[in-house]
Structures are given as C-alpha cells and as structure tokens.
Amino acid sequence: MNTDEIITELHQYLTDAGFKSSVVSIRHLPALQSDLENLLAQRILNRDFYNDIISRYDLQWQFEPLTDFAEATSVIITAVRQPKVSVKFKSSGTIDSTIIPPTYLHDTDEKALNIIATHLGNHGYKVSDALLPTKLLAVHCGLARYGKNNIAYIDGWGSFFRLRAYFSDIPCTADNWQDVQMMKLCEKCVACVKNCPTGAISDSRFLICGEKCITYFNEGTDGFPEWIDPSWHNCLIGCMICQDVCPANKEHTGWIVPGGEFSEEETQLIMKGVPKDKLPLGTAEKLKKLCMWDWYNLLRRNLGMLIESKT
C-alpha cells in the first residue's frame, strides 16, 4: 500500500469515527508563520494582545517539528463536531442555566490521536501532537473557511466543532494548501458585526479586534473592565453571541446537550472560591466531565457575572 492509499484509508477511519480531516506537507509551515508575522507587522493584529495570548496559554508555536521528531514531513488536522453544553447552578432557591460553547470539551482529542497513531503505526509511521494555530491551518488546507467573526466554519457543521493538529512522518504528496478564504455568505451579511456588543467585529476583514472580545476577558484572570455591561455575558466561559446570530449556524445553534446540575451547596463552594483540592469528589468529577477543571479559578468570577446579569 502506497502512502496516498494509507492517507485515504486514514481519512476513512476518521470519518467513520465522526471526524473530518486533512493532511498537508510540513513545508507550508513557514507560510503559516509568515501569515501571523505579517498581521503583526501591518498592525492588523494588536501586538500587545497577541503577546498576552501567547503568554496566557503558553503558545510556543511549533512551526518546526521538535528535535525528537525531526523526521516529521506532514501535518494532519482533524475536526470533530461538538454541541453547546447546558449547565445548571442552583443558587438562593433558583436555578440558573448557562452554556459552555463548543470547542471547550477536549475529551475527543485522545480519540483522534489514537485512531491516527494506530493506523499509521500499523504501516510503520509515527504521530505526535502539534501546537499550531489550528483555525488558520484548517482554512489554509481547505477544511474550513473563515467568517467575519474570525471563527472557522465547516460546511454542514457551522462553527460547532473542535480542531486539533498532529505531526507525522508519513509523506504527503497531495497538496491541499490554498489561500485563506472567507465564507461567501459573509460577503453581504453583517449579522455578527451588528450584534457583537463590544464592537470587536469589523465589516471589512475576518480578523476581529481580539482585545475587545468578551472571550478574551472571561478567559483571563483579571477583572472585567468597567465598560463591559454584565448583560453581555452569555456563557460560563467564552461567548456565543456572534455564532448564534450567524446564518451559517442556523441549523446548529439549537444543538444543546445537558451537562448536569450543581446543587446550592456546590454552587456556594464555587462562589466562595474553595480550592480545588478541597471540593467534594462529586463536584470535582462534574467539573472534570465538563472540561472545566482547568478553568476552575475563573468560574467564581464568571458565574457571578452571569447571575448578576439576570438580576
């Protein structure tokens, strides 16, 4: 079996498991790096904001494979559908329901890696995680397209998916690389521009002013600026306003699955900022299942803002 056949078979295995995928040559990574550097040089991307994001999430981009996998020749990118998750918090005798947006649930990451590692391993090839700007990569390889809101969209899935990237040493002969594209739907649509409460989205480009985005603030550890109205908060973390009004998501925005309920006692523990290691086992397990364990230090503040916005 030649490498093209192996990759075709890999795509089929991933498809059968609910993933979409693409493979590109590693030789395109310098172009990916140049895209980011050009945005910074042209001041389209705010350098202070970019540096803060790099520092906040420790994003040491791997535009070259790590030294322990120097033989890597290709990049595999996967996407998997994800819904919104509804979570309930009981407080003062009432139940407040909030949303965790798609992309925050990361329990599918290991599944994708296992499929790829097993299939390629059977043919003598290896795979490892790759830390790359996945939205930009997905658009360049034709897997997705940008919306005006700087969100990536996949035909038939809208923006309800999670992306991951991996290095492999399997040669990639097919070239799926292309220029960055915006959805045709965006050409005459301004729904996200009009509905973004912070004015972070421009009608002239598909790169938002990230330093104005609600997600930027509620994923950070600092307090919210005074100019952010509490009523703008709509998710436990992240924001869904521009995605919910997007016509590309009209078939998907109602896809919400229940994520469980936190009792009044559990809600009070969170609101009091009880350390993670002091939480009851059941509460900790709920947070881990929701992939909120790593975000726990932000929940007290964010949940408080959501409750305030409803009073």
Residue 311: per-residue pLDDT = 63
User: How far apart are alpha carbons 12 and 154 in whole angstroms?
Assistant: 18
Instruction: Give the orientation angle of helix 296-309 with respect to helix 264-271, to 10 degrees.
Output: 110
Q: Which whole-number Å values give the CA distances from 60 to 5, 104, 131, in the listed order?
A: 33, 20, 7
Strands (E), the chain: 19-25, 74-81, 84-91, 94-100, 127-129, 145-146, 152-153, 161-168, 256-262
Q: What is the mean pLDDT of each run of 10 residues along the chain (311 residues)?
A: 94 98 95 94 92 94 89 96 97 90 93 97 96 96 94 97 97 88 92 96 84 95 91 95 97 97 96 96 97 95 84 63
